[in-house]
Structure 1
């Protein structure tokens, strides 16, 4: 899809790119090609997709600065292959790794990875496992993965899952939206963000952005990240909810400025 631009704007081409995952699933994404060697990768959140407004708006803000961007669907979400799995933290880190390797193989430099909500967790978990990306942006990620489960699955989720082996999460009309297996629940509970953050390379520059009115993940989670990640900057967006419904512009400018500043400092560094 080519977009019409005025004469002074760079022409941005959006290209559909399909990348095979380590597990043999096709991951589908959109590349906003500005011609820059550097590329920023965007990671969506839980039961979300690459077309979520925060992903689209961040991509637009970065491409305006001449930086190429890739936003993609994790396996089992959006257009990508695979069935949706609850939890799935380690497999999504593998998906992200496949995407980064794809672009490195094309002689691109993945300069930053940015994730919203669960995507924020993916960015941090990725960096705790691989040491090839030096700019991380965690937008409203969750620090304590024991929290937020009862809200979705009910207070007695542990008893039910032990008894039945799974819980079906239903929508308002009673249809099953997704199934949570005992294995996937335990994978989430075993994922220790504190432990992961301690493994992030000290040279890695990390920005955490969180809305002060986040109704899904409390602001305390952002403060915990700030305590334990060494090279860390915290930005609280006053009044913003979890989806930054009325704060998209502020969110985009905070993220873009952080990435640009670090890239410029790196260029000047001896």
Structure 2
């Protein structure tokens, strides 16, 4: 979802909100690295991976970068903090409750510095990825005559191969931050993730931040990852870790009741996304991208096939255990056929114009010590599993309107 966020300085920030397919467990705000944009690989991969874990994640372009207005060359670190506050206010207004702050590289330093201004009552927890403890160190990544900018008030520089126009104000505002002191005042859960082989921001920065932070605090090693998380698997890993860690601070709150029996299905985000609640479990169902879905979960027919397959396997295993048969395992492959052409028992249905469908089941029985008689009996038992009987019996679906608007 593409958004714009207004700032008090008269221009807008370009933002993108990644929404979960199912219910929203809570919102998160992601801050990208120095001179990157919301479309950087790490920003996209981490926010989408968090969305898959039920966390609505907003990423945006800092002032003067990507699609955002304003002058990057005059902004500096303090402006990044102001951008985060404006974006956090947008999230809190939309979703209510508390938010998770996630920052990558200098964005990690920015979320740590912004948390107090956003308000500790509005921030649930903070996670940083490859964040520097010494904010002014980013000036070392700038190629240009900083002394001339100090003298003349402005000048041209190169950062990461891109040209920028910087002001003396940018340098002054960036040098003014004492991040360890800021972190030491926070009384919020903090997770610090860092690669021990980070060649841009050394892992000693993580040590300084971790030492400065108060408990509860956690450290996660991103061994083998580079600073920019250019490998998607590294971004997915840390997103899953952050989501699992944040579950303690962003518990799922929903008005949907958990069923005492059966399932409850509620619509989510995306074209087909739905969330399924059983008595003790919840998961997402979707359609593949080729059908216009987001492919975030099994399809309805996957679930139908799975119902028959799992019940078949469970029934065969239970029977083997009861009879003491040397069964090593069962593998059941189930496929669905929409237009089933069959002569015999179903001719009458076809004559009445009713579409005939079929489920095809292939059962592989594993166990070298099983006799042919054992295998034959197990195949017979497979046809007696409860779901099989339900599907082939006289099944009626009764529908009624529920309460509510």
Quick check: which has more Rg, 1 or 2? 2
User: 1:152-231 alignment to 2 at 5 Å?
Assistant: 152-153=142-143, 157=146, 159-170=147-158, 177-200=163-186, 202=187, 204-231=188-215
In the alignment, is the contact (CA less than 8 A) between 1:74 and 1:95 conserved in 2? Answer: yes
Query: Is the aligned partner of 1:259 residue 2:243?
Result: no
Per-residue CA deviations over 1:75-104 (Å, capped at 9, x if unaligned) read 211111112236622222111111121232
Establish whether residue 140 from structure 1 lines up as the match of residue 130 from structure 2. yes
Counterpart CA distance in 2 for 1:150 and 1:103 is 33
Which runs of no fewer than 5 residues in structure 2 stay unpaired? 255-405
| SS class of match (1:134) | strand
State the structure with bigger RCO (CA 8 A, min sep 6), 1 or 2: 1
CA distance in 2, matches of 1:152, 1:107: 38
* CA positional deviation for 1:265: 10
Residue in 2 that maps onto 1:57:
45
| 2:150 is aligned with 1:150 | no
1:235 aligns with 2:235: no
Against the structure 1 CA distance between its residues 127 and 266, is the aligned structure 2 distance closer, same or farther, given a 3 Å change threshold?
A: farther
Question: Normalising to structure 1: TM-score of the pair?
Answer: 0.82
The farther-off stretch of 124-133 and 142-151 is 142-151
Give per-residue Cα distances to partners, 1:148-182, cap 9 Å, x unaligned: 4234236x73x333333334213799xx7112222
Change (3 A) 1:86 1:137: farther
Trace 1:93-132 onto structure 2 (pairs within 5 A).
93-129=81-117, 130-131=119-120, 132=122
Deviations 1:161-210 (A, max 9, x none): 3333334213799xx7112222211111111102211221x2x1111111
C-alpha separation in 2, matches of 1:87 and 1:212? 31
Contact map agreement 1:22 1:95 (CA 8 A) in 2? no
Distance of aligned partners of 1:254 and 1:89 in 2 relative to their CA distance in 1, 3 Å threshold? same
- Asked whether the 8 Å contact 2:142–2:158 carries over to 1, the reply is no
Worse-matched range after superposition: 115-124 or 35-44: 35-44
Q: State whether residues 114 and 138 of structure 1, in contact with CA within 8 Å, keep that contact through their aligned partners in structure 2.
A: yes
Deviates more, 1:103-112 or 1:215-224: 103-112
Contact kept? 1:148, 1:217, Cα under 8 Å: no
Q: CA deviation at 1:68?
A: 1.4
Contact 1:40 1:68 in 2 (8 A): yes
Shift of 1:244: 2.0
Pair 1:245 & 2:233 matched: no
Gaps of 5+ in 1: 1-14
Rounded Cα–Cα distance in structure 1 between residues aligned with 2:75 and 2:219 = 26
User: 1:229 Cα deviation (Å)?
Assistant: 0.5
Aligned length: 247
Contact kept, 8 Å, 1:93 with 1:122, in 2: the verdict is yes
Cα gap change, 1:102 to 1:265, in 2 (>3 Å): closer
